[in-house]
């Protein structure tokens, strides 16, 4: 299976989770393309970035390929900021092409988890509006990302349930 992992990470938690998941998928001989979203000009203040997320602003991305037509399965990953997705992922999804009739899933990383359910519903709506079929969502606690056993347990259920 040809899989894309599209993600944004500011603190490194989401990046660590995606890399761990990528390795698990590669062990199953899937072809994986990792796309780390990078901002043209990244605000260094986490609080300003959260404000932009709360206001549902988009961010200017650099060096992105927006076509996802060649993938069998697309997995998005983002931290939860201010009860929503990051401006980077919002911007990417507004421009992404080739999601119609695609199987997708997403991973949310969060601190308290207070906005995880709201973010999950919003991301499901965005993906469904693009014509994608949401197969799964997974929430990961940021303070457990360095716990390899935690990640192994969370990701093994995904790989078994969805044939990944």
pLDDT at 160: 72
pLDDT tens digits, 63-98:
888 999 999 999 999 999 988 999 999 999 999 999
User: Could you give the number of structural domains in the chain?
Assistant: 1
pLDDT at 54 over 80: no
Q: What is the pLDDT of residue 162?
A: 66
**Six-digit token pair at 96?**
């992404």
Structure tokens at 146: 């360095």
Domain-located, residue 6:
yes
Q: Which helix (H) or strand (E) holds 32?
A: strand 31-36
Residue 138: how many other CB atoms lie within 10 Å: 18
H/E segment holding residue 153: helix 148-161
Range of the domain at 104: 2-159
For the chain, list the strands marked E by DSSP: 2-7, 31-36, 73-79, 103-110, 133-141
Task: State the CATH number of the domain containing residue 64.
Answer: 3.40.50.360
């Amino acid at each position: 299976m040809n899989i894309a992992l599209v993600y944004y990470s500011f603190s490194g938690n989401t990046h660590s989770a995606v890399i761990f998941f990528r390795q698990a998928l590669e062990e199953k001989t899937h072809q994986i393309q990792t796309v780390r979203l990078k901002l043209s000009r990244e605000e260094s203040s986490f609080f300003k970035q959260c404000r932009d997320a709360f206001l549902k602003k988009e961010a200017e991305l650099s060096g992105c390929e927006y076509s996802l037509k060649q993938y069998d399965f697309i997995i998005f990953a983002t931290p939860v900021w201010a009860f929503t997705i990051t401006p980077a992922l919002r911007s990417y999804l507004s421009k992404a092409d080739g999601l119609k009739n695609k199987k997708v899933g997403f991973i949310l990383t969060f601190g308290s988890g207070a906005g995880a359910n709201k973010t999950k519903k919003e991301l499901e709506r965005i993906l469904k509006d693009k014509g994608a079929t949401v197969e799964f969502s997974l929430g990961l606690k940021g303070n457990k990302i360095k716990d390899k056993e935690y990640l192994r347990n969370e990701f093994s259920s995904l790989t078994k349930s969805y044939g990944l």
